[in-house]
Amino acid sequence: MTDPNAFIDQVLEKLCIHIGDRPLGSRNNQRAQEFIGNSFRQHGCEVEDQDFTCMDWRGESVLLHANGHNIPASISPYSLPCNITAESVTLANIHDLEMRDIRGRIAVLHGELTREAIMPKNFRFWNPEEHQKIIRLLEEKKPAAIVAVSFNEEQPTPIFEDGDFDIPNAVVAKNHAGKLLNTGSNIALTIVSERRPSTGANVIVRKPGRVGKKKVVLTAHMDTKPGTPGALDNASGIASLLTLSLILQSQTFGFGLEFVAFNGEDHYSNAGETHYLDKYQAEFRNILLNVNCDGVGLKDSRIGISCMDCPEPIHSVCDETRKPFNLIEWIEPWVQGDHMLFVMNQVPALTMTSSGIFPLVDTIIHTKNDTPALLDPESILQSSRFLERLLINLDRAVGS
């Protein structure tokens, strides 16, 4: 059998260095999909590519000039292009948005309107009424463009990531807000970007069990935000699943196994998850457990696991399995991941990530700095070994 340590290194090098960023719909994304499918095939697995249409988007450049200053800005992901000079209107809350005339002007959003990211208008899984109202009012009032002041002091963390939202928009870090908050001044905004139709696919592997239709579904997402090598998010999770499939080549269980490399977790439309749900939701009643790997393997960090809606027998098996593994600990459940697709459909889930990953979101994660240098391959291997032992213990407890 191929040495698992060498195999993990090969996966990380291929995805993060040879391929690089792999946003859904891009050629790099399609190359990643092909590599993952071929890796499963080399482990003796039969592979289904669940194809779907999607949007590929590339942002090239943004120029923002206001009040005599060139202001550092980022293109909001999926924004349309523009080349506009117009009067600005500063808006801090929904009341401002309701009352002010912004047609044909550049709306500068800050304060309550940008205290958090706004969910895409057609996002199916969680979409607060306040977010929907903000989108609706902006579309009705038709500003020429939007500049959003991020809630992040140093980083221009996007407020809008929505390919169905057709108002050009950019974002600036909060520490640049003072150069913009002057209603009535002219702002010049140029965004060079492109939306184009494309295709993507989930990579699905099924290994039947010895008894009945029950199965465990193991998931990780293959895509990234534009411009990031996506080592922690989530080449490491893919490496963990592929290594597990290598280790399990000759093993069977009472229940079936399903490996799903989702495509689109970091895309505004969650297209891969949506298509999987639409096609296979009727089978969810047969799922004993979803295990989602997202962000495992951070150096100098333990592996954090959490159970969501797990019945006591499964939780007990998870806990007993954890005890011999020195790197693995319980952490609080987190909701940003593919496991929520299952939890929201009454399927118990076990999540695996790095305990130290959360302070890195939007500073390292989703940036060019998310490189393999952050990763400890031995930690990734331990996550795969833990999953192997978990499946063996589950089989003894509930699978036969």
DSSP 254: S
CA distance readout (Å), 28 to 21, 194, 243, 300, 334 = 7, 16, 22, 30, 29
Q: Are residues 116 and 43 in the same domain?
A: no
CB neighbour list of residue 26: distance below 8 Å, 6 or more residues apart: 56, 58, 198, 226
Q: Is residue 190 part of a domain?
A: no
Pairing of strands 69-70, 47-66: antiparallel
Show the tokens assigned to 9.
Answer: 């290194």
Residue 387 above 80 pLDDT?
yes
Tell whether 394 and 259 lie within a shared domain: yes
From CA 132, how far away is CA 121, in angstroms rounded? 6
Question: Would you give the distance in Å from CA 291 to the centre of its chain?
Answer: 16
* 345 in the same domain as 282: yes
Return d(Cα 73, Cα 156) in angstroms, integer.
7
Following CA atoms 243, 244, 249, 253 in sequence, which dihedral angle do they give, to the nearest 10 degrees? Answer: 180
**Looking at residue 362, what is its pLDDT?**
73
Per-residue model confidence (pLDDT) at position 400: 52
State yes or no: pLDDT of 154 exceeds 90: no
Domain-embedded: residue 62: no
How high is the mean pLDDT of the chain?
Answer: 95
Mean pLDDT, to the nearest integer, of 127-139? Answer: 96
pTM of this prediction? 0.92
> What is the number of structural domains in the chain?
2
Residues 251 and 368 in one domain: yes
The token pair that represents 54 in the structure block: 């999607």
CATH assignment at residue 109: 3.50.30.30
pLDDT score at 250: 87
Question: What are the pLDDT digits (tens) for 15-43?
Answer: 999 999 999 999 999 999 999 999 999 99
End position of a domain, from candidates 129, 153, 184: 184
Based on the domain organization, do 89 and 154 belong to the same domain? yes
For the cut 80, the answer to whether the pLDDT of residue 365 exceeds it is yes
83 and 168 together in one domain: yes
Task: Assess whether pLDDT exceeds 80 at residue 148.
Answer: yes
126 to each of 115, 122, 132, 146, 328, how far by Cα in Å?
Answer: 17, 10, 11, 24, 30
How far, in Å, are 9, 152, 231, 377, 378 from residue 6 at the CA level?
Answer: 5, 39, 16, 9, 11
Q: Give residue 1's pLDDT.
A: 65
The CATH number of the domain where 231 resides is what?
A: 3.40.630.10
Residue 233 inside a domain? The answer is: yes
* 63 is a domain residue: no
The Cα 111–Cα 259 span in angstroms is 43
Poorest-pLDDT segment among 137-151, 180-194, 236-250, 270-284 = 180-194
Q: Is a pLDDT exceeding 60 seen at residue 399?
A: no
Res 281: pLDDT: 95
Last residue of a domain, which of 160, 184, 208? 184
Which residue segment(s) compose the domain that 180 sits in?
A: 68-184
- Tell me if 336 sits within 8 A of 277, measured CB to CB: no
Q: Is residue 275 part of a domain?
A: yes
Of the pLDDT bands very low, low, confident and very high (cuts 50, 70, 90), residue 109 is very high
Predicted local distance difference test score (pLDDT) of residue 371: 97
| pLDDT over 70 percentage in the chain | 99
Same domain, 207 and 320: yes
Q: Among 184, 215, 246, give the residue marking a domain's end.
A: 184
pLDDT score of 211:
82
Domain assignment of residue 88, yes or no: yes
Q: Is residue 272 part of a domain?
A: yes
